[in-house]
Structure 1
Amino acid sequence: MNVLIIYAHPSQKSFTYQIFNRLLEGLKKAKHTIEISDLYQMNFQSNMSEEEYEREGLANTDLPIPDDVLKEHAKIEKADCIIFLYPLWWSDVPAILKGWFDRVYSVGYAYGYDKDGNKIQAMKQIPLGLSVCTAGHSNAYLHEIGIAQSMEKIMLDDRMGKKFTHKEFIILGGTTEIEKVKEQHLNRSYEMGLGLEEMLHQNGIKSKE
C-alpha cells in the first residue's frame, strides 16, 4: 500500500516524534511504500498568498496553483492511505497543518462547482485516512469537556469528509503523565502501521496493491 504521512511537529525531542518513528517501524515491517510530508522540515508555507486567495475566494481557476501545492497534490494522487500525525494545540492542529488544508485543498481540486452548478473535485477518493494526534490531557478529560468530539467532527466531517472511503480519528492522550501511557501509545502506533491492510479489509475496502 502507498502511505502518505502528513507530519506536523517542530521538535525531534517530542513524544510525537517518538510516535512518528514507531509508526514508521510498523509501516516498514508491513512493507508499505512510504512518502512523508514533514511540514516543519519542509518549511511548508502555511499562509495563503493574495493571489491564492483570489483563486480560492473568487474561484478564479485560471490563476495558477503554486508549485509546492502541486507537489502535495501529486503525493495525494499516489496514496492509498493518508495519515495526519500532529499534536493537539489549543483545541486544534498546529497552524502549519491548518495551512496545509487551506492551501492544498484548492478550488477545482478538492472542491468547487462549475458554471452550471456541478461539483468539481479532481482529487481522487483515498481508501483510508487516519487523523492521529497526541495530547497532554487524557482522552477521558478531552471527551468530558467536548474538545475530542469537536476535533473529531472537524477532522472527519470537514477536512477529510468524502475524500476518504474510511477514516478514523485517534487521540493518544495523557502525555503530561508520559510514563503511564508511553509504552501503550508507542505499541499502538507500531500496530497501527502494521495493521493498515487489516483495517481496510475489516471495512470491506481493497487497496490497489
Structure 2
Amino acid sequence: MNILIVYCHPSKKSYTFQVFERLKSLLKKQNLNFEVSDLYEMNFQGDLSETEYEREGFAKTELPVCKDVLAEHAKIERADCIIFLYPVWWSDCPAKLKGWFDRVYSVGYAYGQNDSFPKMKTLKLGLVICTAGHSNDFLTEIGIAQSMQNIMLDDRLGKRFEQKEMLILGGTLELEKVIAPHMQQIEEIVTKIKNHST
C-alpha cells in the first residue's frame, strides 16, 4: 500500500511533530511505502490566486492548474491511503491545510458538475489524525468533535475514500498523561494500515 502523509505544523518542537516522527518510524518498521507533503516545509501556498478563483468559482476548466497543485495531484494518484496529520486550531485544521483542500481539490479533479466529471481516483483509506489541547470528552460534550468529523470525513474526504476514520489525540494540555496512550493509538493505526494492505 502506498501512503501519502499530508502533514501540517510549523514547529519541530511541537507534540504534533513527535506524532509525525513516530508515525513515519512505525510505517518504516512495517515496510510500508510512504511519501510526505509537509506543507510548512514546502512553503505550500494556501491562498487561491485570482486566476485560481476564476477557474474554481466559474468552473473554467480550460484555465491551467498550477504546477504545485499538479504535483499534489500526482502524489494522490500514486497513493492508496492518505493520512492527514495536524493540530486542532480553533476547532479546525490550520489555514494552510484548509488551503491545501481549497487548491488541490480543484474543479475537474476532485469535484465537478456531475459524477463522471472528476478525475480524482477513489482511494482505499483516508485517515485523519489531529492533536488537541482539550480532552476528547470535552470536545464531544461541546460538539466540536462531531463538527470536526463532519467537516473532515463527510465533506473533505467524502466519497473520495472507500473507508475513512478520524483519530483525535486530545488532552495534550496534560501531555504526560496522554502521550503513552496516544502513541499506542498511532501503533494501532499503522497495524490497521498494514492489515488493510494485505
TM-based fold match above 0.5 = yes
For 1:132 and 1:107, how far apart are their aligned partners in 2?
26
Q: Does 1:121 align with 2:118?
A: yes
The corresponding residue for 1:82 is: 82
Q: Cα distance, 1:192 vs. partner?
A: 1.9
1:160 partnered with 2:171: no
Structure 2 matches for 1:96-135, cutoff 5 A? 96-113=96-113, 119-135=116-132
- Matched with 1:138 is 135
Match of 2:8 in 1: 8
Show structure 2 runs of 5+ residues with no match.
Answer: none
Task: Name the structure 2 match of 1:170.
Answer: 167
Deviates more, 1:152-161 or 1:184-193: 184-193
Q: Specify whether residues 49 and 12 from structure 1 end up closer, same or farther in structure 2 by C-alpha distance, changes over 3 A only.
A: same
Q: Quote how far apart the aligned CAs of 1:189 are.
A: 1.5
- With 178-187 and 83-92 compared, the bigger mean Cα shift is at 178-187
Paired residues of 2:139 and 2:145 also in contact (CA < 8 A) = yes
State the alpha-carbon separation in 1 of the partners of residues 116 and 50 from structure 2.
25
Query: C-alpha offsets along residues 34-77 of structure 1, whole Å, 9 cap, x if unaligned?
Result: 10000000000000000000000000001000000000000000
Write the distance in 2 (CA, Å) between the matches of 1:149 and 1:191: 22
Indicate whether 1:62 and 2:62 are aligned. Answer: yes
Deviates more, 1:64-73 or 1:188-197: 188-197
Counterpart mapping for 1:25-36 below 5 A: 25-36=25-36
Other structure's SS at 1:140 match: helix
Displacement of 1:197: 2.7
CA contact (8 A) 1:111 1:119 kept: no
Tell me if the contact between 1:127 and 1:165 (Cα under 8 Å) persists in the aligned partners. yes
Which of the pair has the greater relative contact order for Cα pairs under 8 Å at 6+ separation? 1
In the alignment, what sits opposite 1:192?
Answer: 189
CA separation in 2, counterparts of 1:127 and 1:118? 18
TM-score, normalised by the number of residues in structure 2? 0.97
| Aligned pairs, number | 198
Can you list the C-alpha shifts for 1:154-190, whole angstroms capped at 9, x where unaligned? Answer: 0011000000000001100000000000111122213
What is the deviation of 1:26?
1.1
CA–CA distance in 2 between the matches of 1:119 and 1:188? 37
Q: Is contact 1:25-1:193 (8 Å) kept? A: no
Letter in 1 for 2:121: K
Q: Which amino acid aligns with 2:188?
A: E
Work out whether residues 8 and 86 of structure 2, in 8 Å CA contact, stay in contact via their aligned partners in 1.
Answer: yes
Q: Which amino acid aligns with 2:73?
A: H
Counterpart secondary structure, 1:41: coil
Report the equivalent of 1:52: 52
In terms of mean alpha carbon deviation, does 84-93 or 189-198 score higher?
189-198
Deviates more, 1:146-155 or 1:178-187: 178-187
Give, in whole Å, the separation in 1 of the partners of 2:23 and 2:13. 16
